[in-house]
Amino acid sequence: MTPDAALTAEPIPACAGIGLRGQHYEDVLTLRPAVGFFEVHSENYFGLGGTPHRYLERIRADYSLSFHGVGLSLGSTDPLSRPHLARLRELIEHYQPSLVSEHLSWSSVGGRYLNDLLPLPYTEEAATHIAEHVSQLQDSLGRRILVENVSCYLEFEHSGLTEWEFVNAVAETADCGILLDINNVYVNACNHGFDAKEFLRGISRQRVAEMHLAGHTENKFDGGSILIDTHNRRVCDAVWDLYRDAVEQLGPLPTLVEWDSDLPELPVLVDEAGIAASILEQSRARVA
Binding site for another protein (CB under 8 A): 43-44, 46-52, 54, 70-73, 76-77, 81, 84, 106-116, 118, 120-121, 123, 125-126, 129, 153-158, 192-193, 219, 221-224, 226, 228
Nearer to another protein, 116 or 139 (CB): 116
20 forms beta bridges with: none
Nearer to another protein, 121 or 264 (CB): 121
Nearer to another protein, 52 or 251 (CB): 52
The angle that helices 237-250 and 266-287 make with each other, rounded to 10 degrees, is 40
Quote the least distance from Cβ 70 to another protein, whole Å: 8
In angstroms, the CA 12 to CA 255 distance is 10
Quote the least distance from Cβ 36 to another protein, whole Å: 27
Quote the least distance from Cβ 240 to another protein, whole Å: 25
Quote the least distance from Cβ 10 to another protein, whole Å: 27
Which has the closest alpha carbon to 102: 130, 139, 125? 130
In angstroms, the CA 229 to CA 252 distance is 24
Beta carbons of 186 and 238 less than 8 angstroms apart? yes
Tell me, rounded to whole angstroms, the distance of Cα 35 from its chain centroid: 17
Nearer to another protein, 46 or 240 (CB): 46
